[in-house]
């Protein structure tokens, strides 16, 4: 924690000294001679909770809607998300998962109960339930991550849900699924045993939750060739004790343990900061708080390494992203927020961190997919806009399933002049075709970065790339101007002497394709 505070206090120094537009100089070493673990495609996962206008409006419009749809799911959102090759989608919460009873969401829609959504307000019609969610993941070609209810549910209810979804037997539950229109069982790859049990998921102590976890997990069964990976609800931020107790008591039954960390510009839940109205100080504070993800992962991984040195248990960062104050103006639903170039950098920094921790971080889900928090897509009636965060996910697709390549970044020879400015951040991977991809983020709001990159043990022959930047710190895509922030060809890479000279514009994300 002390290190986190020190990192934050250095922001004041950064804000004072790094005002000029001289390039920040850095050296990047891409350790192609020391390949690491496979970057699990599932770290590029998404999250869709029954919250605000995410499910209803954002995804589900119903079969009778004038908005073009496939069995009630809007086609424009499907097309946009389909392009990203989303590997996994978490549902139905979040906090909502802990009040959700799956039987409410099956059978004829007109007969489904209307209930209060006590987590996020409004009435839950249950029009979008298990069949609709499974249809969505199949249309997206993604794996299902279903989050179960521990706090207000029972092990029996959880076990029944899994049987309903995955059984091919002649049991009553499998036959009920068939009667409701789905003959074949679905695949459920991931199952979350509760959500945030230290808070909205029951306000439990880790010792108590560890016992509950074991009780519930005992009744999660594999059927046929479906293997359910059981995810224990883990800590938030620096609650290392939660991870320690849980893994000490229940490691044998855990396949993955989650961790939640949100980026708040101010770090203060009462006054988080605006999504769009911010200056250079909040830009820097936001990115510095994002970089804390690396230290948090190291902290939780150090505990896991003691109990599970073989790295069988994955760390699942299944909620991450920016969280701002409610927007002024018309109410666009709970936790709706705009998304700017700053969010693009937050996404890129987090994904780079996950890529670099590929050996342990094997699942991650940005919060959330549409119209809520750090969304990839915003909708308004029949309109849709792709956010800067969407474009980062598109650019970073190349890392999915590739081999992680370690990177080292050091300030260049003029570091002494830089007095605290933040060096570019990066990650790299090699795909199945042997192509190297290097993603680099220049966090400096006004200074370009000049990066000399070497491939240790290899020579670069050709490089091309894609760039995302914008004319202002808060450049954004709106329904009126949907293409203000879009990727463009990167022309700042030159191959020289087997290495690369890179000129990155200020506030930018670049993904390079390098052939060696
Ligand atoms: O993503 C919004 C909420 O944040 C989730 O419901 C909860 O798990 C977390 O606190």
Residues in Cβ contact with 332 at an 8 Å cutoff, skipping those fewer than 6 apart: 52, 53, 371, 380
Q: Output the DSSP codes for 101-139.
A: -GGGGSS-GGGSPPEE-TTT-SEE---S-HHHHHHHHHH
CA nearest ligand 1 atom 6, residue: 94
Q: In degrees rounded to 5, what are phi and psi of residue 364?
A: -155, 145
Active site residues: 196, 319
Return the closest-CA partner of residue 283 out of 216, 346, 236, 332: 346
Residue indicated by tokens 């249309």: 139
Quick one: 369 and 447 in the same domain?
A: no
Quick one: 112 and 209 in the same domain?
A: yes
What's the token pair of residue 463? 């490089």
Return the closest-CA partner of residue 161 out of 169, 151, 173: 173
* Mean of the per-residue pLDDT values of the chain: 94
Return the closest-CA partner of residue 28 out of 516, 449, 492, 490: 449
What is the mean pLDDT of the segment spanning 220-233?
98
Asked whether residue 417 carries a pLDDT value surpassing 80, the answer given is no
Q: Which atom of ligand 1 is nearest to the CA of 373?
A: 1
Where does the pLDDT of residue 96 fall: very low under 50, low under 70, confident under 90, or very high at 90 and above? Answer: very high
C-alpha of residue 388 to centroid of ligand 1, in Å: 22
What is the mean pLDDT of the segment spanning 166-191?
98
Where does the pLDDT of residue 12 fall: very low under 50, low under 70, confident under 90, or very high at 90 and above? Answer: very low
C-alpha of residue 423 to centroid of ligand 1, in Å: 31
| DSSP state letter for 226 | B
Residue indicated by tokens 């107790």: 245
94 CB near ligand 1 (under 6 Å): yes
49 CB near ligand 1 (under 6 Å): yes
Number of structural domains the chain divides into: 2
Domain boundary among 373, 401, 429: 401
Given this model, what pLDDT does residue 420 score? Answer: 67
Q: Which atom of ligand 1 is nearest to the CA of 195?
A: 8
Given this model, what pLDDT does residue 413 score? Answer: 60
User: Which mutation among 50, 53, 91, 95 tests ligand 1's pocket best, with the greatest number of atoms within 8 A of CB?
Assistant: 95
196 CB near ligand 1 (under 6 Å): yes
Quick one: 132 and 81 in the same domain?
A: yes
Given this model, what pLDDT does residue 419 score? Answer: 64
Quick one: 369 and 385 in the same domain?
A: yes
C-alpha of residue 58 to centroid of ligand 1, in Å: 18
**What's the pTM value of the predicted model, to 2 decimals?**
0.95
Domain boundary among 348, 382, 401: 401
Beta bridge partners of 29: 408, 454
pLDDT single digits (tens) 356-407: 999 999 999 999 999 999 999 999 999 999 999 999 999 999 999 999 999 9
Q: In degrees rounded to 5, what are phi and psi of residue 419?
A: 35, 60
CATH code of the domain in which 437 resides: 2.60.40.1180
93 CB near ligand 1 (under 6 Å): yes
C-alpha of residue 95 to centroid of ligand 1, in Å: 6
C-alpha of residue 443 to centroid of ligand 1, in Å: 27
Quick one: 21 and 106 in the same domain?
A: no
Cβ atoms within 10 Å of 497's Cβ, excluding its own: 10
C-alpha of residue 110 to centroid of ligand 1, in Å: 29
CA nearest ligand 1 atom 4, residue: 94
Quick one: 347 and 411 in the same domain?
A: no
C-alpha of residue 338 to centroid of ligand 1, in Å: 18
Return the closest-CA partner of residue 444 out of 260, 283, 279: 283
H-assigned helices in 126-217: 130-140, 155-166, 172-179, 206-217
CATH code of the domain in which 303 resides: 3.20.20.80
Q: State the maximum Cα–Cα separation within the chain, in Å, rounded to a whole number.
A: 73
Domain that includes residue 23, residue range: 2-37+404-515
Given this model, what pLDDT does residue 81 score? Answer: 98
Quick one: 187 and 336 in the same domain?
A: yes
Quick one: 253 and 146 in the same domain?
A: yes
25 CB near ligand 1 (under 6 Å): no
pLDDT single digits (tens) 50-65: 999 999 999 999 999 9
CA nearest ligand 1 atom 9, residue: 94
Quick one: 125 and 153 in the same domain?
A: yes
Asked whether residue 2 carries a pLDDT value surpassing 80, the answer given is no
Given this model, what pLDDT does residue 26 score? Answer: 94
Q: What angle do CA 265, 319, 241 make, to 5 degrees?
A: 90
CA nearest ligand 1 atom 2, residue: 94
Q: Which atom of ligand 1 is nearest to the CA of 120?
A: 6
Quick one: 219 and 266 in the same domain?
A: yes
Quick one: 304 and 375 in the same domain?
A: yes
Domain boundary among 401, 416, 439: 401
User: Which mutation among 53, 55, 93 tests ligand 1's pocket best, with the greatest number of atoms within 8 A of CB?
Assistant: 93
Burial class (CB in 10 A: 0-12, 13-18, 19+), 419: exposed
For residues 465 and 510, is the Cβ–Cβ distance under 8 A?
yes
Where does the pLDDT of residue 267 fall: very low under 50, low under 70, confident under 90, or very high at 90 and above? Answer: very high
C-alpha of residue 251 to centroid of ligand 1, in Å: 25
Asked whether residue 10 carries a pLDDT value surpassing 60, the answer given is no
Quick one: 64 and 185 in the same domain?
A: yes
97 CB near ligand 1 (under 6 Å): no
319 CB near ligand 1 (under 6 Å): yes
CA distance 264 to 158: 34
pLDDT single digits (tens) 126-152: 999 999 999 999 999 999 999 999 999
**Percent of the chain with pLDDT strictly greater than 70:** 94
Where does the pLDDT of residue 16 fall: very low under 50, low under 70, confident under 90, or very high at 90 and above? Answer: very low
Q: Which atom of ligand 1 is nearest to the CA of 199?
A: 10
What is the mean pLDDT of the segment spanning 338-352?
98
């Amino acid at each position: 924690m002390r290190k986190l505070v020190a990192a934050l206090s250095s922001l004041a120094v950064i804000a004072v000294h790094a005002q000029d537009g001289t390039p920040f100089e850095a050296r990047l070493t891409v350790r192609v001679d020391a390949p690491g673990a496979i970057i699990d495609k599932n770290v590029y996962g998404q999250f869709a909770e029954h919250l605000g206008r995410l499910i209803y409006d954002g995804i589900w419009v119903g079969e009778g809607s004038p908005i073009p749809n496939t069995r009630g799911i809007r086609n424009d959102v499907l097309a946009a998300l389909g392009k990203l090759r989303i590997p996994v989608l978490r549902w139905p919460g979040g906090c909502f998962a802990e009040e959700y009873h799956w039987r409410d969401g099956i059978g004829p829609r007109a007969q489904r109960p209307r209930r209060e959504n006590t987590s996020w307000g409004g009435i839950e019609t249950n029009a979008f339930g298990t069949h609709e969610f499974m249809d969505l993941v199949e249309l997206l070609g993604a794996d299902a991550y279903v989050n179960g209810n521990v706090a207000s549910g029972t092990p029996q209810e959880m076990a029944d849900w899994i049987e309903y979804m995955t059984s091919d037997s002649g049991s009553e539950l499998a036959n009920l699924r068939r009667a409701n229109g789905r003959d074949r069982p679905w695949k459920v790859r991931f199952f979350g045993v509760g959500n945030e049990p230290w808070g909205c998921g029951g306000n439990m102590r880790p010792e108590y939750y560890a016992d509950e976890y074991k009780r519930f997990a005992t009744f999660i069964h594999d059927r046929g060739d479906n293997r359910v990976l059981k995810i224990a609800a883990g800590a938030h931020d620096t609650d290392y004790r939660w991870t320690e107790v849980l893994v000490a008591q229940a490691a044998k039954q855990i396949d993955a343990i989650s961790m939640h960390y949100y980026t708040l510009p101010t770090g203060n839940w009462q006054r988080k900061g605006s999504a769009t109205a911010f200056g250079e100080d909040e830009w820097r504070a936001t990115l510095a708080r994002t970089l804390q993800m690396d230290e948090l992962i190291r902290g939780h991984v150090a505990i896991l390494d003691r109990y599970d040195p073989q790295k069988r248990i994955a760390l699942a960062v299944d909620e991450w992203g920016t969280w701002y104050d409610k927007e002024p103006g018309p109410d666009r639903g709970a936790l709706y927020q705009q998304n700017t170039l700053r969010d693009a950098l937050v996404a890129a920094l987090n994904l780079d961190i996950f890529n670099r921790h590929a050996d342990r971080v094997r699942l991650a889900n940005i919060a959330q997919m549409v119209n809520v928090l750090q969304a990839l897509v915003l909708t308004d009636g029949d309109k849709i806009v792709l956010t800067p965060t969407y474009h980062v996910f598109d650019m970073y697709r190349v890392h999915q399933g590739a081999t992680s390549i370690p990177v080292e970044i050091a300030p260049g020879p003029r570091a002494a002049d830089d007095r605290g400015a933040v060096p570019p951040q990066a990650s790299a991977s090699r795909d199945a075709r042997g192509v190297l991809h290097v993603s680099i983020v220049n966090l400096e709001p006004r200074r370009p970065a000049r990066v000399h990159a070497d491939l240790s043990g290899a020579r670069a022959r050709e490089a091309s790339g894609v760039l995302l930047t914008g004319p202002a710190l808060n450049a954004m895509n709106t329904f009126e101007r949907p293409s203000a922030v879009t990727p463009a060809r990167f022309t700042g890479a030159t191959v020289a002497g087997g290495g690369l000279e890179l000129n990155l514009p200020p506030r930018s994300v670049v993904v390079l394709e390098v052939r060696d």
